[in-house]
Structure 1
Amino acid sequence: MSSPSAAAPDSAPDSTSARTEVRVRRAPKIPAFMVVGGLIGLLVTLVITPLFPADPQVGLPALVGYFSLYGITAGVVLGALVGIALDRRSQKRARLVEAEHEAVDALPIDGVIDDDLDPAPGSTTR
């Protein structure tokens, strides 16, 4: 890797930079908490439903399917609440750091004029 000072001043691209303070934090992925919560709700439903007597006309599989709607929904809601609580906590632990934003203009290619460049696909020039 070559250092910027080793390049000739003529061939250096034009660049501008600005320093600013930004807030950095580790934010949880709330959809992941919702999916895990839904799976836990399904597992809890699968464990609890067979503990109670089932109606012989309906059957256990239909009863588990019916109550899994409630279990999965409750698990998703609880997972979302846990994710939101952890997100709030991460906002309190955020740090301020100094960042540098640098915009670099590309160097022109030697011997190539803009008219010599290939046209965009689908465009017709004559």
Structure 2
Amino acid sequence: MADQASTPQNPVEGSVSDPIETVTVRRSPRYGIFLLLGAGFGILVAMILTFAFNGTDEVSTSGVTYSDTQVFGFLALFCGAAGILLGGVVALVLGRVVGRRTLDLRAEHAIVRTQD
């Protein structure tokens, strides 16, 4: 026992203490990215629907003819909102699935005290 160096119980100023703590690390999706991708997907669907069905050849029941740009604008409003909703739901589901897998890691928290 005489060979072991004694360590002080109370750290004094000018010393370094490094407590090691256990932390839980969990990955989560970036929700803003999923919402933007959902909006982009919705606008893409609106564009496809606008040009897939040629509705400008026929007059509506109210007697008004809508241009392709107007039809795209109306569809972009609804499909964009639906895409944002879908992207949010996908992000929430991924957050739950990925959130189950947590890691317990050891982290070293260094505290340095000086006499300044």
Coarse TM-score class (shorter-chain normalised): 0.7 to 0.9
Aligned partner of 1:61: which letter?
A: T
2:61 counterpart of 1:67 = no
State the TM-score, normalized to the length of structure 1: 0.67
Q: CA RMSD in A?
A: 2.0
TM-score normalised per structure 2:
0.73
What is the number of equivalent residue pairs in this alignment?
97
Q: Is 2:52 the partner of 1:51?
A: yes
Dislocated runs of 4+, deviation >3 Å = none
Identity of aligned residues (%): 27
Q: What are the ranges of 5 or more consecutive residues in structure 1 without an aligned counterpart?
A: 1-11, 109-126
CA distance in structure 1 between the partners assigned to 2:66 and 2:28 by the alignment: 45
Larger RCO (CA within 8 A; separation ≥ 6) = 2
Q: Which amino acid aligns with 1:16?
A: S
Equivalent residue, structure 2, for 1:94: 102
Task: Specify the code of the residue in structure 2 equivalent to 1:64.
Answer: F
Which amino acid counterpart does residue 104 of structure 1 have in structure 2? V
Q: Per the alignment, in what secondary structure is the counterpart of residue 58 of structure 1?
A: coil
Q: Tell me, which stretches of 5 or more residues in structure 2 are unaligned?
A: 1-12
Q: Which amino acid aligns with 2:82?
A: A
